[in-house]
Amino acid sequence: MDDCIFCKIIRKEIPKEFSFESDTLVAFPDINPSADIHILIVPREHIGGIADLNESHGKLLTEIYKAVNQLVKSNNLQDDLYRVVVNGGKAQHVPHLHFHLLGGQWKKMV
Ligand code: AMP
Ligand code: ZN
């Protein structure tokens, strides 16, 4: 999508250091963190949101949870507090599916 901010980050039109990268996913820190650790896990494919997911995305969703687990370990969150949040509808501000990994002290709603 031409003017989607996350597509621009994925295409490297906006410089961003990735915390995790694979053929199908990227992950990077949220620019306005809601917790001590706040990482966004984002599919490279432009999927608008949860409502656009279907059976064909089964493998991708497994990969997302594998990436989450990897990031939990690399940030030493396994014995700390962590949450995974996906916003939808009016709670979603960037219309490109993403999973928020929130770790440590949660400061505000995402
Ligand atoms: P949501 O409300 O679930 O769509 O969340 C979008 C998230 O993207 C927010 O937490 C924003 O702070 C974050 N965000 C927006 N633009 C950027 C950016 N350029 N780099 C990193 N995070 C961003
Ligand atoms: Zn996009």
Cβ(94) to ligand 1 under 6 A? yes
**Catalytic positions, please?**
98
What integer is the mean pLDDT of 59-73? 98
Average pLDDT rounded to a whole number, residues 1-7: 94
Q: What is the pTM of this model?
A: 0.97
In 70-103, which positions are buried (b, 16+ CB within 10 angstroms) versus exposed (e)? ebbeebebeeeebeebbbeeeebeeebbbbbbbb
pLDDT, tens digit (0-9, with 9 covering 90-100), for 16-58 = 999 999 999 999 999 999 999 999 999 999 999 999 999 999 9
* CATH architecture observed for domain 5-106: 2-Layer Sandwich (3.30)
Q: Is 31 in the pocket of ligand 1 (CB under 6 A)?
A: yes
| Band of residue 1 on the pLDDT scale cut at 50, 70, 90 | confident
